[in-house]
Structure formats: structure tokens, C-alpha cells
Structure 1
Amino acid sequence: MDSRRDFLQKLTFSAIGLPLLTFSGLASAEATNLIYEQPYQGPVLRVAIMGLGSYGTRVAEAMQSSKKAKLVGVISGTPSKVKDWQAKYNIPAKNCYNYENFDAIKNNPDIDAVYVITPNALHHDQVIRVAKAGKHAICEKPMAINAKEGQEMVDACNKANVKLLVGYRLHFEPKTLEIIRMREAGEFGKIMFFQGLSGFTIGDPNQWRLNKQLAGGGAMMDIGIYSVNGARYMVGEEPVWVTAQETKTDPVKFKEGVDETIQFQFGFPSGAVASCLSTYSMSNLDRFFLNGTEGFAELHPATGYGPIKGRTHKGELTQPHQTHQTVQMDEMAAIILEGKKPVVPVDGEEGLKDLKIIDAIYLAAKTGKKVDLTV
């Protein structure tokens, strides 16, 4: 009804604004601007969200606008949240689980995939359980807390013949994809340098992100991974070495094993280099800059929920903003159900590469040595 009403309103406004428009002109205008959008009738990915916190809520809200993905179930350790989500999203009781009994999704044909949005250290076991239940797994980043765990997750999903995807929403972001297109077309010339700045001032000192047992680290595992991943898709290569330096100004808030600030540098096979910053103690840091012999590209903000803003040596990037999580879920549904190949991968192997690099960053920061990489 809303779509039909919007269509009629547009048609009325057009008629008012163009009183002398001929019938053929009206038909042409209708054909080009006022086409009634037919409802999507293809396959739909039925998703249960595991972890009903702030980001799980953001994903759930965004999925209400998805065409190819539908929220059909929840998994949570908080009964009151389950009850609230049931009422808000019309989720049947048979599709509601807790962390102890969710293996029973194996016998629920109404759930195709589980989106794991829990603290980092829980991803490994939860994704493997999802795979053993025969369901596709979508996992928030970082995929795990180290490469060893990540490899075990990839292996488990391969063994179960289910997909493992990682929540790299920016791999579908229009301005980001335009820069990748320009780079691949040679419009920047030879890529020489990338800078990634990822940071904010973190609040509550008691939150799980500052608990090594749950987070697996500190800023690097939460915000720094954006510059790790961004360096790879912006430059279009995999780094072959890394150096890193850690700075800690508040050892009370940032306890042992919880990094506050890390600067890190990459070298790439072509000779390009990257310089990046990951921090929990400085704000206004969300910028990517790519420099080549023939031009440049900048995203600022580069990784927030949007709108992303960008420019190149050719001018401002004007691709329209779309809710990242809505696009992500539609695209992931197409990957799982239709075999679609994204421009930038979002699979478990992609997540594993980031974990190998993060392991190397931590090692470089600890030892002060240059660490060679093979990802």
C-alpha cells in the first residue's frame, strides 16, 4: 500500500507541475521516473541473529528494508530481550533459542543462516556449532581472536558444506567500490601509498571491549581492523611485511593485553607502503587516503555507518548513501542463495587473512622487529 500510495502521489505531483504534458509525454515520464517497483519474488535468506546488543539491533532494524534477507529467529542469553524481539519483529517462539540450546536449530527448517554478533572471543565456538547444525554462518568481525581460531572456523564450515561470511559491510559501500573500480582501471596510476586512521575515545572502562578474555585485544580488534582490511582493498594487494609500535598512556584502563594505540606499517609486493593508526584514546580518526602516480582518493569518514564521504583527483564522489547493513544482508543473501561473487570477498578466507595480519602486528609491536607475512 505504501508503494502504491507513493506512486500515486508522484503521479499527481507530476500532473500538477506539468499541466500541458501530452499523453505520450506523460507515458514517457511515467516510464522513466514513475515506474511502479514490483515486489521482489526471488529466494529469501531466513536469518536468526545471535547476540541482541546494540549492533544486533542495528542489523535487525536494517533488515526490515532488505529484500533478499529476513529476520526469522533470535539467539540470546537474556530472556527479556528475546521476549521484546519476539513482539517487535513477530518472531515465533519456535525460532527463539538461548546459548545453551541453539544447537537445536539443526532441526528447524525455517532458519537458513545465523548471524553471530557476540563478543569476539565467543565467535569461534559459536560459529562451529552453527556449522555443525548445518546452517550458514555470518560472523561479525574480527572473525576470531587469532588466525588459529579463524582457520578452525573455516575448516568447520567447509566440512559441514555451509558458507562462512564475515560482516564486512564496507565491501558493498558505493563510494568505496568506486575507488576500487578507478584503481583497477588504472586511473590512479601506480599505487604508492595508503594511510588508514581508525580510532575513537572509548567510554565505559568495564565494557567487554576492554576485557582481553572477551575481546582478544583492544583497539586493534575493534577499530584497527578497518585500516588493516582497508589497506588491502584500497591498495589491491596483500602485505608482505609489517612493522608496529604500541603506545599506552593509561595502563589502568588498558590492562595487559588490551592495546590502546598501535601504529603499524605495511609493505606490498609492488613496492607500495601503508602507514596506519589504531587507537581507543583519540577521536576524529576515520580516514583513508590512497596515493598513486596519477591521482589520489580520500574517504573521510571512511568506515562509519554513514554517510561515507569521499573525493578523488577528479572531484567529489557522489554515489548515494544506502544503509550499510541493509545492502550487506541483501548481498550476502545473494552470495549464499545465488552464488553471487562480490567485488571484494566477504568469506571466511578473507576474515582469516585479516587475522593473520593482526597476529603479525601484535608480534611486531611486541618484538620491535619487522615481521614477514604470507597471507
Structure 2
Amino acid sequence: MANRRDFLQILSLGAGLTALSRATSARAGVLSSLPKSDRQLRVALMGLGSYATRVAEAMESCQRAKLVGIVTGTPAKAEAWKKKYNIPDKNIYNYQTVSQLKNNPDIDAVYIITPNSLHHQHVMQVAAAGKHVICEKPLADTAKQAQEMITACEKAGMKLYVGYRLHFEPHTREVIRMREAGELGTILFVDNTCGFKIGDPTQWRLKKALAGGGALMDVGIYAINGARYGTGEEPLWVTAQEIKTDPVKFAEVDETITFQMGFPGGAIATCSTTYNFNNLGRLYVVGEKGFAELDPAFGYGPIKGRTHKGPLNQPVITHQTAQMDGLAECILDNKPDPNMTGHEALRDMKVIDAIYESIRKGGQKIMIG
């Protein structure tokens, strides 16, 4: 498999259903109704890689969000995107001119989709420029950085959201609803896995200076976040183990990590993440009264699932369309968000910090503050 984009797409068997998903999203999205306001959130994308392309294409179906600007260090990309999305010259920036966003009233928010270790710098710059921030996950390299980013946005009076697209996905939302309604009973056990066989050994995801970490930071965060919304609680402790079968390819970052978490209500989570093999993308929640399973759980769609009551037959949507319309409502209409703020990301970063600490200490139990 060539890259993470392919992994998330193939994992969910979504390649053949992308057109259907896009056509369905406007009709059967997770948003029950759109506000009467005609105002749109005007968004600039920062970092024009493969995922930014996916977001831009999805935003063509948005009702409340509109792509109006870009930030890129590649002139050829700037020219191509300018033509494809009718972006005016005044809304095109490079990484040296980000501060000039403050002089542009036609951009409301910037969606940061740059390599992980650049998120901290870019969020701080965008907040200082007086724009709302949407940032891809992981939010930062460490919880300390994440807190600094939250503080900067709050000080600037700007909102900070993180790209937890699954929080708008209907199957995921139904599992959360069932748990919150008590239909699963007291949660006892969670088993989450997310990983894939990474391709190109020269890509940025295998360079610690850009990625911050390996499989755990990239896709293991899905397992962490899933355990948190699967239980509705914050973990008290974690233990973790790392396995590295290719010390050359994975010289700088982690290859495979297994970890366990304990929750206040007594639930235990066992999780795995890897860059070394495919077919790993499942969420399984067991309660006293029943269970919920999503498999595939974390890809771009369609998500599939079942519970003790039978199959989950929720609408098929384009995740990024629902996310951008939903976050537009949060920013423009002050609608409560479905756990996608910087504070949500900070909680995941605290777990990631603890996992890496446990590995450094030979699998020791680490309490999460």
C-alpha cells in the first residue's frame, strides 16, 4: 500500500463509493437541519497535500463552508489550485506571508493540514493573525505544545477545532448515542485497532522532525480517541509496549505499539497500532447490556457496524463535507461542537505522552494527569 490516504480509503472500501458518498452527504448528513443563516465560513487551506485535496473536493458540496484561500510553499500548486477553485490572488499566501492574513477580511478560518510537527508553529501564527483555526490531528507533538496552542487561540479570541471528522459520522454518533442512553449498560471493555503497512521509506511520516512520532501519532490516535468516546471517560493510567521489526525503515519513529488503558468506571481498553501490516481498523465496545462494533471504524467511509440489536444502517456521508459544514455552524452560530476543540485534542495528547513514557520505562504503568 502506497500511503496513508490509500490505507484509509481501502480500509473502508470507500474507493468505489466516493461518488455515492458525496451525492448522499447533502441529503443524509449528520446535521439534522441547516440554520436559516446564509452566511458561509470562508476557509483557507494551509498545506496542499493529498488530504487537503480531499477536503477541498468535499467542500464543493458544503452549504455553510467555502474554500476561498490557500497557503502553500509550492508555486506550481498555488497556480493549479487558483485555477481549479477560482481563488483570487489576494487570498493566496506562502509560509512567509502567513502574518498578512490579519489584513484580509475575506478569510474567516484557516484549516492547517501540514506535517504534524509544524502544527504548533502554524497554529500560533494563524491565531496571531486573528483567524479561527481548524487543525488536523494530532494537534501537536506533546501535550505541552497543545496547551500552548489552546492558550494562544483563547488569548487571541479565536476558536480552535481539530479534524476529528468521525465525530460527525453517523455510525460513530449512533454508538456514542447508545452509550450515552445507557443501551450498552456499564462499559466493561474496549478493543480498538488502527494501522496499515506504510510505503515510501523517504516520506515525511517516517521522519521524526516532521511527524513527531510514528504509527501512534498518525493513526493510533484513532484508537485512543475511540476508547475515550466508547467509554465516555478519561483514562486514569496506561501501559504500553513497542515492537520494531525493521529498525532501518523505522529508525526515527515507532512501528508497532500495543497499549492498555484503565478508566474510572472500571473499563479496560486494549489497543494496537502499526505501520507494518494492513487490515487493522476496528472499534469494539462491550457493556453489561450489549456491545457495539464498527469495522471498518476509522477510514474515510463507508463505516460499517453492528450491535447486539443488529446491523447499524446509518446514512453514508462524505466525512469532510459534514465536518466542515458542522464546524461552520460551531464557529458562525456558536453551536456546541461534538468534542472537536483543542481541549479534546489535548486529552489525546496526554495519553500519547503517557504511552511514550511507558515505553521508555519498559512498559511501566503511567498515571495520566
Aligned residue for 1:287, secondary structure, equals strand
The one-letter code of the counterpart of 2:297 is: A
1:207 is matched with 203
Indicate whether 1:145 and 2:141 are aligned.
yes
Aligned residue for 1:130, secondary structure, equals helix
Aligned residue for 1:158, secondary structure, equals helix
1:290 is matched with 285
Deviations 1:233-254 (A, max 9, x none): 1111000000000000000000
Matched-pair contact (CA < 8 Å) for 1:63–1:69: yes
1:312 is matched with 307
Deviates more, 1:184-193 or 1:301-310: 184-193
Deviations 1:215-237 (A, max 9, x none): 00100010100001110011110
Deviations 1:62-86 (A, max 9, x none): 0000000000000000000000000
Matched-pair contact (CA < 8 Å) for 1:63–1:71: yes
**What count of residue pairs does the alignment treat as equivalent?**
336
Q: Which has the higher contact order (CA 8 A, sep 6+)?
A: 2
1:356 is matched with 350
The one-letter code of the counterpart of 1:236 is: G
The one-letter code of the counterpart of 1:371 is: I
Indicate whether 1:120 and 2:116 are aligned.
yes
TM-score normalised over the length of structure 2 = 0.90
TM-score normalised over the length of structure 1 = 0.88
The one-letter code of the counterpart of 2:213 is: G
Deviation at 1:40, TM superposition (A): 6.9
Provide the alpha-carbon RMSD of the alignment: 1.3
C-alpha distance 38-251 of structure 1, shift in aligned 2 (>3 A): closer
Indicate whether 1:274 and 2:248 are aligned.
no
Deviations 1:162-209 (A, max 9, x none): 000000000111011111111111111111000101010000000000
Any gaps of 5 or more consecutive residues in structure 2? Answer: 1-32
Deviation at 1:42, TM superposition (A): 2.0
The one-letter code of the counterpart of 1:317 is: L
2:105 is matched with 109
Any gaps of 5 or more consecutive residues in structure 1? Answer: 1-36
Distance in 2 of aligned mates of 1:352 and 1:297: 26
Q: How does 1:62-81 map to 2 (within 5 A)?
A: 62-81=58-77
Matched-pair contact (CA < 8 Å) for 1:196–1:227: yes
Indicate whether 1:84 and 2:80 are aligned.
yes
Aligned residue for 2:279, secondary structure, equals strand
**Alignment equivalent of 1:234, drawn from 230, 245, 249:** 230
Distance in 2 of aligned mates of 1:267 and 1:38: 39
Matched-pair contact (CA < 8 Å) for 1:40–1:67: no
2:41 is matched with 45
Distance in 2 of aligned mates of 1:192 and 1:270: 8
Deviation at 1:143, TM superposition (A): 0.3
1:97 is matched with 93
Distance in 2 of aligned mates of 1:164 and 1:306: 25
1:156 is matched with 152
Distance in 2 of aligned mates of 1:218 and 1:260: 6
C-alpha distance 271-185 of structure 1, shift in aligned 2 (>3 A): same
Deviation at 1:39, TM superposition (A): 11
1:303 is matched with 298
